[in-house]
Amino acid sequence: KIKFSIMIGEVGGKSEYKVIEAIKNKLITKPIIGWCIGTVSDYFGGSIQFGHAGAKADKASESAVQKNKAMKQAGIFVPNGFNQLPYLVKELYESLTDNTVGNSSQDINIIDLPLDCETLVKTNKARKKTHFVCTISNDTKEEITYCNMPITEIVEKKYTVTDIIGLLWFKQKFPVWASNFIDLIIKLTADHGPAVSGAHNTRVTARAGKDLTASIASGILTIGPRFGGAIDAAAKYFKMAYENKMEPEDFVEYMKNVEKIPIPGIGHRIKSTKNPDKRVSLLKNYVFNKFPTCKLINYALDVEKVTTSKKENLILNVDGAIGVSLVDMFWALNYKNKDIDNLIQRGAFNAFFVIGRTIGLIGHYLDEKRLNMPLYRHPVDDILYDEESPI
């Protein structure tokens, strides 16, 4: 509730007199502290105009001294000087809240403000709302931990890079056979020469003067269904066919007539049955010798027999071999089918290609910078200009 008001006026004008009239007519009943600034003007000769537009007393009644006198006569609390104003405010407030004056302090609603969030957090009475949840690492302890394992322990136990991938991607340390298989994937996918889209983009971007991050990003962004991104899709469709007990011939027909897409992980532009991909051979050799079970890769090779009977380059390519082998790996690690499906859906299988190929893309970037190659412009004789071609 408002107990009193403070009014600050100035020389010139009649606003203060309107307040005086309102008090006389009982339109204002609560106490007012008033002061009209400009009392010093009486010490100057003539009419003095202050900085504020119109702040000038043209009549005696408009001077600060006369206004203060009139306000005091009307019952407004007027200090003897401007410096007394804060003391008068304190005095009036205390008198209005004093029971002996008839204005009980009970009329004042004292609100107990709640403690602010920072204080509550410091006193362990509240927890600040978080915007992120991290379950793989913690940098708030004495030393950083990966899945609750201190970094010094990781170094002391000689964890490999692929062991770290297991911790940070899947929250577990894989057995040696699985960890070494991931290492093999990274080695086999690290590079595939300068002609593929990822390396090409990286080199062109590097020649344009861009930095490492931009150049690598331009290469990584080409990864997709037609370049390295078929690992997830191959795992998805081969796993689906195996679980539904489709015969290899039926699976081939299903992909052609129902999904109406080429089988992900099947086919290569250069490699064929007569010119096999050494990377696939290395993968198969490792899986057959080290994996506890090889169910899906065997099924994929049965499908390959059907596809290569139609065309010799419709082989199980490196993406397909990695995809089906990863499913076999997670089966052997006792992952449930729904958990494997979630990994595939989230792109976790393609992530192995991304991390492997990034090594090569960095190599291509550094190669361009090392050679100090000029800005790239595609040869005109390699472009067919055909403006007359219909839309």
Catalytic residue among 52, 192, 364, 378: 52
Same domain, 61 and 161: no
What is the per-residue pLDDT for 102? 44
Walk along the chain (391 residues) in steps of 10 and give the mean pLDDT of each run: 86 88 92 88 66 59 88 92 89 75 50 80 82 93 94 95 96 96 96 94 97 97 86 96 97 96 92 94 97 97 96 95 98 97 96 96 97 95 90 75
pLDDT tens, position by position, 303-339? 999 999 999 999 999 999 999 999 999 999 999 999 9
Provide CB contacts within 8 A for 314, sequence distance 6+.
266, 267, 304, 307, 308
pLDDT tens, position by position, 75-109? 999 998 888 989 999 988 888 876 444 444 445 56
Give the CA distances from residue 33 to residues 23, 72, 282, in Å, rounded to whole numbers and listed in that order.
Answer: 13, 9, 94
Residue 389 lies in a domain: no
Report the first-to-last Cα separation within the chain, whole angstroms.
77
Same domain, 343 and 236: yes
Same domain, 101 and 117: no
Whether 353 and 189 have beta carbons less than 8 Å apart is answered as yes
What is the per-residue pLDDT for 352? 96
What is the per-residue pLDDT for 51? 56
d(CA 244, CA 258): 15
What is the per-residue pLDDT for 104? 44
Same domain, 95 and 122: no
d(CA 311, CA 321): 18
The domain containing residue 150 runs over which residues? 113-173
Same domain, 147 and 211: no
Report which residue type is found at 62: E
- Catalytic residue flag (residue 131): no
Q: Mutual orientation of helices 348-371 and 197-207 as an angle, nearest 10°? A: 40
If you search the block for the tokens 């290492």, which residue do you land on? 183
Same domain, 83 and 120: no
Paired with 355 in beta bridges are: none
Could you count the other beta carbons within 10 Å of the beta carbon of residue 39? 17
What is the per-residue pLDDT for 95? 86
Q: Which of 107, 137, 165 represents a domain boundary (last residue)?
A: 107
Three-class SS state of 150: strand
Same domain, 129 and 242: no
Residue 388 lies in a domain: no
Same domain, 284 and 336: yes
Same domain, 125 and 214: no
What is the per-residue pLDDT for 244? 96
Same domain, 256 and 118: no
Three-class SS state of 35: strand
Number of domains in the chain: 3
Q: Using only C-alpha atoms, what is the Rg of the chain?
A: 42
Same domain, 91 and 225: no
- Edge-first strand listing for the sheet containing 137-138: 137-138, 145-146, 149-150
Same domain, 229 and 328: yes
Provide CB contacts within 8 A for 30, sequence distance 6+.
2, 3, 4, 5
